């Protein structure tokens, strides 16, 4: 029996939620550690590197990286999350220059730190790729555990919540299977609760905008749940 057939049952869905939750938690921890280490080394590098290097090369590199991300994203510039992705990519790339300079101040220790940051970066990128390739969450009303579902959604990035929202759209259309419709409504209710917790003003703008299948332009970017 393949994985897709197993995932149709309650145990399969629970196992999949557990895997996705564990992966999301690991990626979030790696992302925060990577950001903290990069910013720390960048501050050191900014203080020890000639100002002209930081003020010229860092913005140039950041602008180039942000432009590439913007050009390859068809949703740019209309989509808010696409604009944020370009800005964050450019900012991250700009940090690389002073970060490398800061790492260079520590010799062998800096080399080890650079390797660790590279590994963390690979985990973060791998998590993003896995997130994009995940199939939509299968909706089935009878065996949904609301508390488990809420805990599962809390650690997912906003982009995945919006993917799940869109994937349930067909199940709430007139003529849909009653059981699937009930499950979709339940999932959408929990999704809306989580999105409202993260960005209440954005959700209010989205719901008043009248287009329930285009939430990205109203909500904040690809963020994790806040605690």
Q: Rounded mean pLDDT of the chain?
A: 78
Q: Residue 42's pLDDT is what?
A: 92
Domain ranges, ordered by start, for the chain = 10-133, 138-209
Q: What is the pLDDT of residues 111-157, one digit of tens each?
A: 999 999 999 888 887 776 776 565 555 444 445 577 878 888 888 88
> 161 falls in which pLDDT band (50, 70, 90)?
confident
Q: How far apart are CA 93 and CA 85, in angstroms?
A: 12
Q: Is 70 exceeded by the pLDDT of residue 87?
A: yes
Both tokens assigned to 104: 């260079």
Q: What is the pLDDT of residues 46-80, one digit of tens each?
A: 898 888 888 899 999 999 998 988 888 776 877 76
Cα 105 off chain centre by: 32
pTM of the model: 0.58
The helix/strand count (H/E) of the chain reads as 9, 0
């Amino acid at each position: 029996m393949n994985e897709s057939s197993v995932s149709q049952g309650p145990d399969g869905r629970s196992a999949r939620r557990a895997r996705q939750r564990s992966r999301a938690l690991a990626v979030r921890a790696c992302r925060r550690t990577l950001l903290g280490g990069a910013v720390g080394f960048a501050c050191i590098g900014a203080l020890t590197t000639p100002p002209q290097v930081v003020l010229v090369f860092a913005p140039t590199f950041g602008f180039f990286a942000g432009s590439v991300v913007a050009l390859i994203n068809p949703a740019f510039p209309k989509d808010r999350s696409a604009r944020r992705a370009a800005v964050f990519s450019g900012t991250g790339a700009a940090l690389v220059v002073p970060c490398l300079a800061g790492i260079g101040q520590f010799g062998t220790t800096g080399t080890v730190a650079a390797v660790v940051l590279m590994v963390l970066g690979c985990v973060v990128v791998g998590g993003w790729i896995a997130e994009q390739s995940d199939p939509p969450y299968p909706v089935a009303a009878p065996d949904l555990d609301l508390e488990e579902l809420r805990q599962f959604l809390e650690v997912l990035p906003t982009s995945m919540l919006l993917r799940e929202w869109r994937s349930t759209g067909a199940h709430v259309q007139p003529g849909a299977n009653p059981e699937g419709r009930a499950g979709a409504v339940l999932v959408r209710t929990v999704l809306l609760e989580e999105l409202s917790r993260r960005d209440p003003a954005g959700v209010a703008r989205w719901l008043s905008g009248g287009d329930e299948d285009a939430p990205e332009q109203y909500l904040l970017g690809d963020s994790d749940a806040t605690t």
